Structure 1
Amino acid sequence: MRRTASVLVAVAALGVALVGCAGGQDAAGETAATASGEIDLLPVGAVPDYQLGGAYEPADDVGVVGRDRTAEPAEGVYSICYVNGFQTQPGELDTWPDDLLLQHDGEPVFDPDWPDEALLDTSTSERRESIADVIGPWIDGCAESGFDAVEFDNLDSYTRSDDALTLDDNLALATLLVERAHESGLAAGQKNAAEDAEALHDRAGFDFAVVEECAAYEECTAYTAVYGDQVIDIEYTDQLPRAFADMCENAESPASMVLRDRDLLPAGVDGHVFETCR
């Protein structure tokens, strides 16, 4: 798992949230049939922007924008709603019942890299159903706001559980979340977890992948072999082993790539970086 440090920055506090619920269905190039009806897939090869650190007006050539579930979708583009599906969001620990948090010696188990995120306990069907009952309204809210898709983060939380959780546990919860997304008319995106891409696609039903630094870590084919052109990659300026232009020219890189600053700062803020392959 490699994520940015600012997914919990409140858009309202930054004062740059865009108002409106237009979504981006006009920008979507293809549709796919699900058990609940048709969903819009990613517009193939579209320029992406990743705005979890605060919403701002996308550049004219951008066709896909990812924002946190607390933000409004960007107007006129394909919009993806970020949901932390397998760990608590920073500042939201108290909103979760203790019995839905993974426990060790009576204390919640936290992500070692994100010590303000506790792992959700996906080990039983009853707990998974209860977790889905909490997250389900968030998914519905993404659809009601006008997003076209939802991405679920921390699918690999089981790798940080000291064997208390398994891939099968998380796949079972992921299946519930994907089904809820499809029922709401949203495409469902896998976030990172390259080693589990095939299982997440084939068994849980994910439609696309949002990945971080797959070019830097030379793992893009783990996603494109499964999702084809339904992959968006975000690279970060602080960890580039080679020039971003070289990554863009690499045949193994997804067609939709963007270079961002690690904190995903809004445009106009010192340190903001937004660079595309075009």
Structure 2
Amino acid sequence: MRRTVRLIVAAVSAALILCWGVPSEAASLPAPVSCSGCWKPALNTSWQWQLSAVPSAPYLDVTMYDIDGFDATAGNVSQLHSTKSGRKVVCYISAGTYENWRPDAGDFPSSVLGSDVDGWAGERWLDVRQYTGTLGTVLKKRMDMCKTKGFDAVEFDNVDGYTNDSGFPLTANDQLKFNSWLANEAHNRGLSVGLKNDIDQLQSLQPYFDWALNEECWTYGECTTADTGYGYDKYVAAGKAVFNVEYTLATSKFCSKANAQNFNSLKKKLSLDATRTPCRGV
């Protein structure tokens, strides 16, 4: 839902990549769960990301809607499906933070609650190392909710807590284990899954995720391999769609570059309301 403060930057990314081989942390990860029936978005996929309120008719003529998993009902998802052939609907849930306004907030044990998320009232970082316990149970229930409501895919937010002041001594390997577990659990439910941000771990996590969603990589010079050592262009080369949003840049500053990389880029407000300016036609 937002770009959080990243404390680990290009030096860490370089440390993770060993001569274009597999980063050392990836050696301890489980095998990716395959999902032959999961949606694999085309590289050029029109989309809308709207979290401030559940979209209502008339809908945009886009192939993908990414909306809040809790706020949307099964009826909302069904209507989005029925009003455009082939449209897919993505279930937004936060996997790395606690949100005190969610109906399952009381299910989180105090032991997993960390520091406040800077700038976002009522939100706290989670100790993602505890995903094998109660935290994992809560998150699996959220994924079950997405499946029951008829969503096609899931977007896990805040999956880069190790680069933030979480209140826990999270490591890069802790994050990799958690993120790969999330992707595998989504695939176990037949849900397509997108990797949200976590730019420093793009290479290790690429085999687990079906697509990627990024906030402001053009603003911060983090979009391509030339920028970071392993960029979103590698996802495109692997046939995995990249969805990108910029909040402050003028479209003249990034759209031509995004189109050249075959990214699906939008200009949006930070509130993620219905307003959008696509770099492509739709």
Which is worse superposed, 152-161 or 226-235?
226-235
**1:147 to partner: Cα distance:** 1.5
Deviations 1:109-161 (A, max 9, x none): 2222334211111235xx54321211112112212222111111111111223
**Aligned residues of 2:109 and 2:134 also touching (Cα < 8 A):** no
Q: Distance in 1 between matches of 2:161 and 2:121?
A: 13
Sequence identity, in percent?
A: 28
Query: Could you say what secondary structure the match of 2:41 adopts?
Result: coil
Equivalent positions of 1:1-278 (< 5 A) are 2-3=2-3, 34-35=33-34, 37-56=36-55, 57=57, 58-60=59-61, 62-70=62-70, 71=72, 72-73=76-77, 74-75=80-81, 76=84, 77-92=87-102, 93-102=105-114, 109-124=115-130, 127-160=131-164, 161=166, 164-202=169-207, 205-221=208-224, 222-228=231-237, 229-236=240-247, 239-240=248-249, 243-250=250-257, 253-266=261-274, 272-278=275-281
Q: Which has the higher strand share?
A: 1
Measured after TM superposition, the shift of residue 210 of structure 1 is 1.0
Provide the rounded CA distance (Å) in 2 between the counterparts of 1:218 and 1:180: 32
Contact 1:121/1:128 (CA < 8 Å) preserved in 2? Answer: no
Q: What are the superposed Cα offsets for residues 173-201 of structure 1, whole Å, 9 maximum, x if unpaired?
A: 22222111101111111111211211222
In 2, distance between residues paired with 1:129 and 1:174? 15
Find the aligned partners of 1:253 and 1:36 in 2 and give their Cα distance: 27
77-86 or 210-219: bigger deviation:
210-219
Structure with the greater relative contact order (CA < 8 A, sep ≥ 6): 1 or 2? 2
Q: Distance in 2 between matches of 1:211 and 1:157?
A: 15
| Number of matched pairs | 230
Question: Which whole-Å CA distance do the structure 2 matches of 1:2 and 1:218 have between them?
Answer: 17
| Structure 2 alignment gaps of length 5 or more | 5-31, 225-230
How large is the Cα RMSD of the aligned pairs? 2.5
Aligned to 1:29: none
Contact 1:111 1:119 in 2 (8 A): yes
CA distance, structure 2, for counterparts of residue 200 and residue 87 of structure 1: 20
CA distance in 2, matches of 1:164, 1:246: 37
Q: Which runs of 5+ in 1 are unaligned?
A: 5-32, 103-108, 267-271
Could you tell me which amino acid in structure 1 is paired with residue 66 of structure 2? Answer: G
Query: What amino acid sits opposite 2:223 in the alignment?
Result: C
Look up the equivalent residue of 1:96 and give its one-letter code. F
Q: 1:172 is paired with a residue of what secondary structure? A: helix
The answer to whether the 8 A contact 1:132-1:173 is kept is no
Amino acid at match of 1:85: A
CA deviation string 1:236-264 (max 9, x = no partner): 2xx11xx3145221155443122222212
TM-score normalised by structure 1 residue count: 0.73
Q: Which amino acid letter does the alignment assign opposite residue 263 of structure 1?
A: S
Q: Deviation at 1:3?
A: 4.0
After TM superposition, the runs of 4+ consecutive aligned structure 1 residues lying more than 6 A away are none
Is the contact between residue 265 and residue 278 of structure 2 (CA under 8 Å) also seen in structure 1? no
Does the aligned pair in 1 maintain the 2:236–2:262 contact within 8 Å? no
In structure 2, the residue matched to 1:105 is none
Q: Which amino acid is 1:122 matched to?
A: V
**Deviation, structure 1 residue 163:** 6.0
Q: Say if 2:235 and 2:242, in contact at 8 Å, map to a contact too.
A: no
Closer, same or farther: CA 85–197 of 1 in aligned 2, 3 Å: same
Supply the AA of the counterpart residue of 1:225.
K
